[in-house]
Structure 1
Amino acid sequence: MQTSLGGEVASVQRVLVVDDEQAMIDLVTERLTRDLDGVSVSGTTDPAEAIESIERGDRSCLVSDYDMPGMDGLTLLRRVREIDDRVPFVLFTGRGSEEIASDAISAGVTDYVQKGGSESFTVLANSIDRALSRRRVEREREAARRSLAAKDATLESLFESIPAPTLVVDAGDPTMPVDQVNPAFTRRFDAAPERTIGTPVATLVDTVGERSIEGIVDGESGRQTELTCRTAAGEREFLATVVPAGGDGDEQYVVLTDINEQKRVQRALADLHEATQRFLAADDPREIERIALSAAADVLGFPYNGARRYDAETDRLVPSETTSKAADRYDRSRAAYERDDTEATHAWRAFDEGEPVTVGAQSDIQREGVASKVYLPVGEWGVLTLSDPNRDRITETEEYLGKVLGSNTAAALASVNETAD
């Protein structure tokens, strides 16, 4: 079982001293408070209180005597380790038995300090300082690993959501085996995912004419080449784009874009990729909102956009960031959306159902000069409201890209909130 202490960086280091003698508690507390900067030290004569503090996750370190009535230090250590196996635990005892020390090490004690003279308090303070420093480094590493995992998940989501057939090829192998394919590839080429991994790319991508998929992959990265392929629906023209997959290996992304949609989708994917990279670098929710609104304009072509955050306490969608074009065009204050607001019906439906809602009927748009609006859900965070003065609809591809944008925005906001917590 892990408490919040095991996964979050505590802002204040709190040390609890456990001893059956109040005089010893007072002495240890006084010395540790003097010797440890920025550390809050308190004490208790009740081991059960120490256990409760660990269960609450509000202690950074325990210092315990061994010989105590009711529950000795080793028993307390074992109980603590059942709750949290990483919180520093230092035995500070007058009994110097090797057997006690051996049992304590087996039970997972952080350190064992024997009482005796003024120097023992210095040894104890140094031991606690080292233990807290190690734990702080561990928590920072854990936070970094979680952040990296969130970034990897975001990029993986982007790969899975690319509407164009896309595969990853190991160009360092003569047969150029396939390492990964996205759902769009399996649908277009009628390829079962479990049969694609390790298969030579030429077996999966059957080309027509002189150009071969191996020749394109073996060429200069970043080059785009028109290619005719046999698909489940017959021969199709694609624009093959090869880019490095990153890292030090020979993996290459191969994106097969329908030639008729190439310019539109390629531009949209580049904008989404740029937005994703900016998401990963951002550490402020409002900055993430601004990036999302700008990406909505670039990727979906809706120029007048705003963001609304869900306030759980008031059950309202509260106005947040907006694009400068929207602010200039609609020069009026934006009120929060209540549940019973007529104007907010479509926004609440998008938020509650987690699906984009497009409104084109003028009777449903409570604003002049708007031909259509799209309410794009952003997970549990809120919605993006997109407006266009000319178009009365959003295409299927644009809606798909909008879902990817909303999902990546929600992931970025969740990552920032987790780091802040």
Structure 2
Amino acid sequence: MNFLEDLAWRGIIYQQSDEEGLKDVLSNQKISLYCGADPTADSLHIGHLVPFLTLRRFQQHGHRPIVLVGGATGLIGDPSGKSEERNLQTLEKVQENVAGIQKQLAAIFDFEGENGAVMVNNYDWAGSMDIVSFLRDIGKHIGVNYMLAKDTIASRLETGISFTEFTYTILQAMDFNHLYEHHNCKLQIGGSDQWGNITSGLELIRKMQPEGAKAFGLTIPLVTKADGTKFGKTEGGAVWLDPEKTTPYEFYQFWINTADADVVKYLKFFTFLSHEEIEELGMSVEEEPHLRKAQKALAEEMTRLIHGEEALQQAIKISQALFSGNVKDLSAVEIKQGFKDVPSFHAQEAEGDLVDLLVSAKISSSKRQAREDITNGAVTVNGEKITDTNYVLNVNDRIEGQFTIIRRGKKKYTLIKY
């Protein structure tokens, strides 16, 4: 199975501008290719990952990836998938976002060796271009009728689209042409919503480069869930790559909670596991779903890739502690991750009496209920069952002097902070 056949097996290929031409080029030479992201936030989320992981697959097969973060296009706003105008961000904010995203993407690619990745920012060539040069040298080659035929633009004509967002596809076309000219970039890849922008780039290369210039476009299907709901969203919002926005533990938990109906597809899309490994995990889903081997493999592969081995082991440790209730061995850092979204209560020094604390923290509805809960063995302090209604918490019950974890029943945790 060749490389393109592997991509097809994984379900990664959606559209190609010239399937036979690209197949011929890839079978005879190593190429440079690019994928880009606009810095609409200071972090990517997992919905951005598949195109960049596909770019990484090309690198593993000897091709050179060009990783573009759109400092210029991020100032304009991509109309793709939007029913109304984006709010424009300041240059300072966009540059801050660029730095954050570049750091995240740098962890995915290898920048050393013959096919070491190249990181670029389109503000470096678009930011200094004057309006007359843009109109004469670039705009002259892209017809208005051609642009109006683009779905991203046509879908906005009734509700309205500014000239700013109308020209976005030209800016992205300019990126492809620039990279073709200066980096011998032959292929752009992106999500299926980027097809119109990619083909604009091909059109500009055809118009501006010498006759016979060959470039290609390839898109990847948008990731969906089997039940039809949006991929990459939780009750708390998007699953971010930034560990401050989505902790490694939360990141790990997102993947390990993948439904059986989705897990094999996600293993193909997101991981670099072999066909044999994925097929074996697929059999496990069919024959022994209760073991959740596929989900564990997916969660481990993704957490290791984005956050590293140490963060993965920490996420596994937190998960095991919460499942077993044995939380006393967690560090304060691990507690902050694992209990980020559980109810919390700031205790005063005088609130050492367990019954009083259960009421103050609204863990039990009354002192009578608190005593019943304790007597019935329903209350644990840092994983230890307490049955003494006169129990008074002391400094030894504080993990690293910062936290006490109280559980009522099987799952109701409350984090006491000092």
Range of TM-score over shorter length: under 0.3
> What is the TM-score normalised by the length of structure 1?
0.25
1 or 2 for the larger relative contact order (CA 8 Å, sep ≥6)? Answer: 2
More strand by share: 1
> What is the TM-score normalised by the length of structure 2?
0.26
